Amino acid sequence: MLFGDRTADRCAVTELPDSLIGTEAVLTPCDAKSSSKEQAAVTANKDITLYVGLDSRVTNVPSWLGSFTKTNRTVKTSNNVTFLLYSKKVNAGESVKLGANGQSAGCMNYIVLASAAANTSISDIYPEITDVAYSEQYHQIRFTWKPVDGASNYGIAVYLAGKWRIQTQNISASATSYTTPKNLTAGKTYKVAVAAKVNGEWTAEQSIKHAVTVTVR
């Protein structure tokens, strides 16, 4: 169950990220979507990651979710609703206020899940580059990587003249590829790293360790 006022036969989870199986649900009432008031407050008795799933049909993200990070994960239900997950790390003893849904028609109220904080530190995380594709016609390269949970955006760095230089750091969290500009110098070799920004920190250390070397064709 995801809501205190909806039985499983009306709204059951059909798709849930593997890492969230076994998480605790905070049961808010679905009908509270029409309220403009604060709905609840969650106080953590240990370090947790709090997830809020916003109905994908909600057109304006509530301002109180500004302290959360939009992830690339979703929850889907038996009544064909997709919830977009936002995450926030909450330390033991801290409280988080759950505000209004921001839209009352044509949608469901948001859902809330809580899981024990992962032990993995930022130093263990990086976007794994899974494919490098070359265009000989345009002398450009496309890099594809695995998404990182909780990433707010991605960046590309290139090793030039003995130091790492940032090429871009504003790639959307929903993107998993980047194509270089056209007309790079054919035959020139570069070392390239893809980094993710997670909870305000870049995965620079691991990203550089797992950089790839490419030669323009």
* pLDDT tens digits for range 72-97: 889 999 999 999 999 998 999 999 99
**126 to 52, 54, 99, 190: CA distances (angstroms):** 24, 26, 32, 19
pLDDT at position 157 is 97
**pTM of full prediction above 0.75:** no
Burial 68-100 (b: 16+ CB within 10 A, else e): bbbbbbebebeeebebbbbbbbbeeeeebebbb
CA angle 15, 16, 21 (to 5 degrees): 140
Domain 122-215: CATH class, spelled out: mainly beta
d(CA 73, CA 76) in angstroms, rounded, equals: 10
As a whole number, mean pLDDT of residues 115-122 equals: 65
As a whole number, mean pLDDT of residues 177-204 equals: 94
Query: Residue 4: is its pLDDT beyond 70?
Result: yes
d(CA 40, CA 47) in angstroms, rounded, equals: 19
Which tens digits make up the pLDDT trace of 142-180?
999 999 877 889 999 999 989 999 999 999 998 999 999
Domain boundaries, given as residue ranges, for the chain:
13-116, 122-215
Q: What are the beta bridge partners of residue 61?
A: none
By CB atoms closer than 10 A (0-12, 13-18, 19+), residue 188 is exposed
Tokens 């890099």: give the residue.
143
Q: What are phi and psi of 65, to 5 degrees?
A: -80, 5
By C-alpha distance, which of 42, 17, 133 is closest to 96?
A: 42
Give the pLDDT band (50/70/90) at residue 8: low
